Structure 1
Amino acid sequence: MQLDLRTWIILGSIFLGAIITTRTLRWLISRSYKAASAKIKVDPTRYKFTKNALSMIIWMIALGAMASYIPELKALAVTLFAGAGILVAVAGFAAQQAFSNVVGGIFIVMFRPFRVGDLIKVGTRDYGIVEDITLRHTVILNFENKRIIIPNSVISEETIINDSIEDDNVVKFVEVGISYDSDLKKAVSILQEVAMAHPDCLDNRTAKEKKQGVPQVVVRVYEFDDFSINLRAFVWCKDPLQVWKMHSDINIKLKERFDEEGIEIPFPYRTIVFKDGEKKKFNKQTTKT
């Protein structure tokens, strides 16, 4: 396949025009988003998705235009369109998965189960922050600084836990076990004091609850275990990204306070019972040793 200079110039112009047009549109959309963000809080999801969608459309148009200037490809296109029914069936089957990803991406943008910047958990995967939503996949940045790339068709069928949608306030269970010999009321009081002293602890009580005397941090005894009485504190935080740090800080401070106040966090105990014959045998072996 040999092309003359004029055809090469036209192809190069189309290719260069596609690059310039794509970058210009992406720059204009980014500028529009930044200008809107300076005035009000806006959702970046649609801006990012629009940039990706326009880029794909421009490149599809450019590739089609370039193909029309190459005689061999143009003749091939005419031949293929002659059997349009077969072509559509084959192309539809081949592009089924890709098309479902595009449709999934459009549904995500339309119905917004999550947005760019939300903290989410998809199925059994780790928690992460939505970094980008493209036509094909969604990019999630987890807390190990790894990017989880999930096809939109897959993510549309999964159960999504969104910590950021509607309300950023999140409650964290701070759980600890104390021994049966420890002062239960004292342990509850210390747990409440330590939790409420943390700067990220949020008072999420309603006016009615405050009037009724409901404590800021509610502590419940939820289980009598084999070796411990297990307590659960309901600690609210205003930022789902800070709740993990708050939990760690409370656990550290709680251990220090329990040690100071003589509240025991027990470890499992085992009681070994020897029969008479086994006890004598054990004593004899111990004496030889």
Structure 2
Amino acid sequence: MHRMVLRSAKKLNADPTNYNFLKNAVSFLIFIVVIIIVFYSIPELKSIGVSLLASAGILAAIVGFASQQAFSNIVSGIFVVIFKPFRVGDYIKIGDFHFGTVEDITLRHTVIKNPENRRVIIPNSVISSETILNSSIADPKVCAFVEIGISYFSSIDAAISIMRSEAENHPNLIDTRSETEVEEGVEKVVIRVIQLADSSVVLRAYVWAENTGKAFVMKCDLLKSIKESFEKNDIEIPFPHQTLYLRKDENKN
């Protein structure tokens, strides 16, 4: 059934999120209906079912209390499908810790595949109360910040030139400039001085990639290549250090 749902969604060029949720809901309803049919088809089980229904009043409070969280997950899952803060295939970050690609949305939980190829299973009620960062919902392009500090004795212009050259040579970089910006001479990679810190001048390069994955790889590559180019061109990247002064005690014999 799962494969049939995916094929149908692809064939109709539709969002697979609704299909996945419908598949899970239908599977749950079919399971309940089958259980009921089995109980009523077998006389021995039917008598047991009648006994269970007779005692339902006693168990109602216990079951109701125990199913509050489950019902909350179902309602939250329905809201996710209706309002679509994310869809199957979107790259999202939930709260401060969980991020990855949405694989499935069930009645109870949402399955996310993280960059380590592990599945993070999060109850829908938890997701509904968290802040969601969606990198795919409208425009998958991502602007990564590559920040590097240089010493006050190094040339800012030379450092900017090196950072721009390294960024423009990276295969994951995309050009997001409009025709007007190109005509006006706006640089493909914008680099700005964003801070005069205690021991460094902090430069930030704005580099664009097609998606979050490519942006992460590009940022890692650029940190390495820019650091190596700085070393070749005598541009210092400062690091914390301490100076120790030893004072001779003149009164000591």
TM-score, normalised relative to structure 2: 0.90
1:209 deviation in Å? 2.8
* Pick aligned residue for 2:5 from 6, 21, 29: 29
* Pick aligned residue for 1:79 from 45, 48, 54: 54
- Whole-angstrom distance in 1 between the partners of 2:87 and 2:107: 14
SS of the residue 2:240 aligns to: coil
Q: Does the 8 A contact of 2:164 with 2:191 survive in 1?
A: yes
* Pick aligned residue for 2:139 from 159, 167, 182: 167
Deviation per residue, 1:95-117 (Å, 9 max, x gap): 11101111111111111101111
Cα distance change, pair 275–32 in 1 and its aligned pair in 2 (3 A): same
Cα distance change, pair 182–50 in 1 and its aligned pair in 2 (3 A): same
Cα distance change, pair 203–31 in 1 and its aligned pair in 2 (3 A): closer
1:74 deviation in Å? 2.9
Counterparts of 1:107-256 in structure 2, within 5 Å, are 107-256=79-228
- Whole-angstrom distance in 2 between the partners of 1:99 and 1:213: 57
Aligned length: 250
Aligned AA for 2:17? T
1:151 deviation in Å? 0.2
Cα distance change, pair 27–270 in 1 and its aligned pair in 2 (3 A): closer
SS of the residue 1:241 aligns to: helix
- Whole-angstrom distance in 1 between the partners of 2:20 and 2:53: 36
- Whole-angstrom distance in 2 between the partners of 1:26 and 1:213: 51
SS of the residue 2:81 aligns to: helix
- Whole-angstrom distance in 1 between the partners of 2:147 and 2:49: 69
Runs of 4+ more than 6 Å apart: none
Aligned AA for 1:195? A
Instruction: Report the aligned-residue RMSD.
Output: 2.2
1:237 deviation in Å? 0.9
Q: Which has the larger helix fraction?
A: 1
State the partner residue of 1:94.
66
Aligned AA for 2:210? K
Gaps of 5+ in 2: none
Bigger CA drift: 262-271 or 163-172? Answer: 262-271
Cα distance change, pair 229–67 in 1 and its aligned pair in 2 (3 A): same
- Whole-angstrom distance in 1 between the partners of 2:97 and 2:20: 24
- Whole-angstrom distance in 2 between the partners of 1:227 and 1:178: 8
State the partner residue of 1:62.
34
State the partner residue of 1:44.
16
Cα distance change, pair 26–193 in 1 and its aligned pair in 2 (3 A): closer
- Whole-angstrom distance in 1 between the partners of 2:133 and 2:194: 25
Deviation per residue, 1:266-285 (Å, 9 max, x gap): 2223222343428x99xxxx
Q: Does the 8 A contact of 1:195 with 1:250 survive in 2?
A: yes
Q: Does the 8 A contact of 1:104 with 1:153 survive in 2?
A: yes
Q: Does the 8 A contact of 1:173 with 1:234 survive in 2?
A: yes
SS of the residue 2:212 aligns to: coil
Aligned AA for 1:73? I
TM-score, normalised relative to structure 1: 0.79
Cα distance change, pair 139–78 in 1 and its aligned pair in 2 (3 A): closer
Deviation per residue, 1:6-58 (Å, 9 max, x gap): xxxxxxxxxxxxxxxxxxx545434322433xxx4x32211211111110010
- Whole-angstrom distance in 2 between the partners of 1:171 and 1:27: 35
Q: Does the 8 A contact of 1:123 with 1:158 survive in 2?
A: yes
Aligned AA for 2:223? N
Gaps of 5+ in 1: 1-24, 282-289
- Whole-angstrom distance in 2 between the partners of 1:215 and 1:245: 22
1:89 deviation in Å? 4.4
Aligned AA for 2:9? Y
- Whole-angstrom distance in 2 between the partners of 1:89 and 1:212: 71
